Structure 1
Amino acid sequence: MKKPSILILLLFHLFFTNSALSQTNNTKIVNAFSNRIFDGKGYQPLGNLKWKFKTDGKIFSSPIVKNGIVYIGSEDGFLYAIEEKSGNTKWKFKTDGAIHSSPSIFENTIYFGSFDGNYYAVNTQDGKLIWKFKTGGEHWLGEIGMWGMKPETQYMEDLWDFYLSSPVVYENKKSAVVLFGSSDGNVYSVDAKTGTLKWKFKTNGPIHGTLVIDHDKIYIGGWDATLYALNIETGKEIWSFATGTKTAFKGIQSSVSVSDGKVYFGARDPFFFALDAQTGKLIWKYNAESSWILSSAVVQDNTIYVGTSDTYALLALDAKTGAEKYRFKANGYVYTSPAIAGNTIYFGDFTGNFFSLDLRSNGKKSNFISTDNRKQFAASTLKNDFLDFGYTGQNEDLSVYDNNKKVMDQFYQLGSIVSSPFISNNTIYFGSADGYLYAYNLNK
């Protein structure tokens, strides 16, 4: 397929990962993305709203639930601990920057990063600081005159750089460490109890994705468009795999999934890849039709499920060959990482719709709910209920960066969902750009 020009791209445009994390008798791996497959039976469509919790900023962070408490970060700079039954605040912890990192919990400590340049360890019981680790600085991806947009002398932040890296906790028989990437280009391993640096590995660009551990390897990609396999004990590189680097089609924002000796991940270049986990050699790649893949895949029953940007799809791919089995079309970009419970897969889209899809129906049986904001603003923002950048920005010169930002703000007004869902006690939780954390019951 012919690649679009930057202007056409602007008209169309302008990431808790399931990974098969291995665990031996002597190791334990904990992160918000370590289990995207939850307990469940049959098809469980979305039910009624249990409660919703309002923050004072957009939510890009994904929730995690433990011991009756839901934890989530917000762009307002707070990490919130919310009672699962009532939706009431237990405590909140203030940072000096937006929290786009998803939290992880190990024992009685919750770990997360903030755009203030720190990664934090906080007590889950009372919200008190245990330690914080200062990186070389956290920031959105940006450059002067990005993608040829105007004015050419203006510094522009990437409008689709949604996340910060989310911590992963790795425990062996000797100790526990927290691992995360940083905008300074480093992968860090720090002591889980003290925050003391163990090792760091330098890449050639910011890292806003979340690493995944399988056996003795770490897999992580970043804005240098390279996926790295590192030794978990030393941080030494085992192998690396370079993806494409064309203008506007460069970078890895998703996390990998590991299954049956293969590493699966998507990139902006725009392909979805299957690599040999031991060697990093390409097995197959799927052409995403000029769509970025920011979503992190879930693998179940020899099928890969992953979202796309401009084709608005949840894809079902054959894990062995990469052949497309079917696709389910949403109403806008699918940047969330899906979650599976029983025979149901759940995910949101950029227009504020959240879907449940019956995996046995080949994309034909589903239901959805919409945010209140979507119901209010869809008619004035969307074209025939679908996201269309050119339609929403039709009165603007979309070669100008600030006009693209205006269109994105209009989309956010719908309650865009880029937060990935978490399921607990027959309830599904996800955040939205409208500032709400939603809790929906699942029908039995």
Structure 2
Amino acid sequence: MGDIRVKLRRTAAVLFGAALAVVTFVTPVGAQSAQTGSSTTYQINARHDGNLVDAGVGAPPLSRKWSRDLGGDVSYPVVAGGRVFVTAASQDGYGTVLHALDADTGENVWEPVDLGGTYWWSALAYGGGRLYAQNPDGVLTAFHPATGAVLWTVTLPDQWSFTSPPTFLGGVVYTGGAGSGGTLYAVNAADGTVRWTRPVQNGDNSSPAVTANGVYVSYACSRTYAFEPASGGPVWDRRTDCSGGGGRTPVVADGGVWTRDGSGDAPSVLNVADGKVRGTYPANGWSPAPAFDGRQGYFVDDGVMQERHSRTLASRWTFQGDGRISTAPIVVNGYVYVGSLSGQLWALNGATGQPVWSTDVGAPINEPDEHNVSQPLTGLGAGGGLVVVPATNLLVAYGQ
């Protein structure tokens, strides 16, 4: 039988001014559905594929809704439940501060919370009606998102250096730690008890990418693991001929685990089922994570963005911008958003690469630093009708 492909259509009514428009989002069969309506961790969702469907975000151009100066480098946002959550580097020495903002106004929903910790790294996740914040000393805390009340807190055991953002899926928070070897953790989101741990090589800088069938982490020299989510049982382990410290957050998209490596190995896509290399693509291993919309992948390398087909890895278009593109891209309703060290934000037509809107955010949009702890991990986010941009000390929200 031939390769028959059909398309699923999701239709949403979107209000633009006084006119009611019907917007149809098209998803290829076989592709994983985009996250709907909220950003819950680094690169939007538990797969880290940067893809969001939100009927409240109309087609660009967008307008600035609000801007906040939070006094220190700002993390990627979690956008959920009518609120925007970020952390910012403390102005008073080590540590970071957790901010909860009203998505409509940018005003504080509850008073900022000092997360403490050594250095200036921290990271967030959301799910199960809770917000989760992790500091670099391995203190993981669950907050009530409406009030800021602490629901539980746990200091993760056995390690002392934490640089892997947490990921929530199915009632579990997954994260990693390093210091003496490395450890992958699965934490019960309801009460903070550690369900299971597994040893990994290094444990640095790799936010777990999680699906119903696997937990994927990737470290130096492309050492990549897959574990069973409920038990932590090993599924596969991809080894190479070198070893070292550090890691990069993997992306799960179109049946592949997309890995990057700062040691010099070419970025690779591995089969989800067995970890075998499906292909490699030309890019610097220090480049930010790619984003995907079905079988269209968007990759930033050396200040330029390029589209590639997720199976053939052939490229149809390249966007130069100002040559200083810095962020991991995200895709919202088929439009690709990406920012620059110059402070420029673009929205591109994902199919053609044509820019349809750009704006000056007002400060440099820093690249995600997946190697150091001198600032919170940063990145773009969206949800609740907004595209949210951390730009150095600023947090800026755009919408209709």
TM range, smaller chain: 0.7 to 0.9
Q: Which residue of 2 aligns with 1:229?
A: 226
Q: Which residue of 2 aligns with 1:213?
A: 210
Q: Distance in 2 between matches of 1:42 and 1:118?
A: 35
CA gap 1:229/1:374 in 2 versus in 1, 3 angstroms: closer
CA gap 1:266/1:333 in 2 versus in 1, 3 angstroms: farther
Q: Distance in 2 between matches of 1:118 and 1:132?
A: 7
Q: Distance in 1 between matches of 2:56 and 2:102?
A: 25
CA gap 1:270/1:53 in 2 versus in 1, 3 angstroms: farther
User: Contact 1:168 / 1:178 at 8 angstroms: preserved in 2?
Assistant: yes
Question: What amino acid does structure 2 have at the position aligned with 1:428?
Answer: V
CA gap 1:31/1:419 in 2 versus in 1, 3 angstroms: closer
Per the TM alignment, residue 57 of structure 1 is displaced from its structure 2 partner at its CA by 1.2
> TM-score, normalising length from structure 2?
0.76
Q: Distance in 2 between matches of 1:366 and 1:242?
A: 43
User: Contact 1:78 / 1:93 at 8 angstroms: preserved in 2?
Assistant: yes
The secondary structure found in structure 2 opposite 1:321 is: coil
Question: Is 2:333 the partner of 1:307?
Answer: no
User: Contact 1:43 / 1:344 at 8 angstroms: preserved in 2?
Assistant: no
User: Contact 1:30 / 1:170 at 8 angstroms: preserved in 2?
Assistant: no
Per the TM alignment, residue 86 of structure 1 is displaced from its structure 2 partner at its CA by 1.1
Question: Is 2:347 the partner of 1:356?
Answer: yes
Aligned counterpart in structure 2 of residue 81 of structure 1, from 59, 78, 100: 100
The secondary structure found in structure 2 opposite 1:287 is: coil
Question: What amino acid does structure 2 have at the position aligned with 1:367?
Answer: W
Question: Is 2:338 the partner of 1:347?
Answer: yes
CA gap 1:418/1:231 in 2 versus in 1, 3 angstroms: closer
CA gap 1:358/1:270 in 2 versus in 1, 3 angstroms: farther
Question: What amino acid does structure 1 have at the position aligned with 2:146?
Answer: Q
User: Contact 1:304 / 1:316 at 8 angstroms: preserved in 2?
Assistant: yes
Q: Which residue of 2 aligns with 1:437?
A: 395
Q: Which residue of 2 aligns with 1:130?
A: 151
CA gap 1:191/1:246 in 2 versus in 1, 3 angstroms: closer
Q: Which residue of 2 aligns with 1:264?
A: 258
Q: Distance in 2 between matches of 1:197 and 1:349?
A: 39
User: Contact 2:346 / 2:355 at 8 angstroms: preserved in 1?
Assistant: no
Q: Which residue of 1 aligns with 2:77?
A: 63
Output the aligned Cα RMSD: 3.2
Aligned counterpart in structure 2 of residue 421 of structure 1, from 380, 396, 400: 380
Q: Distance in 1 between matches of 2:238 and 2:322?
A: 33
CA gap 1:350/1:186 in 2 versus in 1, 3 angstroms: farther
Q: Distance in 2 between matches of 1:241 and 1:333?
A: 33
The secondary structure found in structure 1 opposite 2:85 is: strand
Q: Distance in 1 between matches of 2:188 and 2:285?
A: 35
Per the TM alignment, residue 256 of structure 1 is displaced from its structure 2 partner at its CA by 1.4
Alignment of 1:358-377 (within 5 A): 358-361=349-352, 363-373=353-363
Q: Distance in 1 between matches of 2:361 and 2:384?
A: 22
Question: Is 2:165 the partner of 1:166?
Answer: yes
Equivalenced residue count is 343
Q: Distance in 2 between matches of 1:426 and 1:108?
A: 20
Q: Which whole-Å deviations, capped at 9, do the CAs of 1:34-81 have from their partners, x for residues lacking one? A: 26222359983343321111212111x211222211111112211111
Q: Which residue of 2 aligns with 1:252?
A: 247
Aligned counterpart in structure 2 of residue 96 of structure 1, from 110, 116, 119: 116
Q: Distance in 1 between matches of 2:70 and 2:145?
A: 19
Q: Which residue of 2 aligns with 1:72?
A: 86
CA gap 1:99/1:84 in 2 versus in 1, 3 angstroms: farther
**Structure 1: unaligned runs, 5 residues or longer:** 1-19, 24-28, 140-163, 376-386, 388-404
Per the TM alignment, residue 421 of structure 1 is displaced from its structure 2 partner at its CA by 2.1
The secondary structure found in structure 1 opposite 2:274 is: coil
CA gap 1:343/1:192 in 2 versus in 1, 3 angstroms: closer
CA gap 1:424/1:80 in 2 versus in 1, 3 angstroms: same
User: Contact 2:40 / 2:80 at 8 angstroms: preserved in 1?
Assistant: no
Per the TM alignment, residue 258 of structure 1 is displaced from its structure 2 partner at its CA by 2.5
The secondary structure found in structure 2 opposite 1:356 is: strand
> TM-score, normalising length from structure 1?
0.69
**Structure 2: unaligned runs, 5 residues or longer:** 1-30, 91-95
Q: Which has the higher strand share?
A: 2
The secondary structure found in structure 1 opposite 2:351 is: helix
Q: Which residue of 1 aligns with 2:65?
A: 50
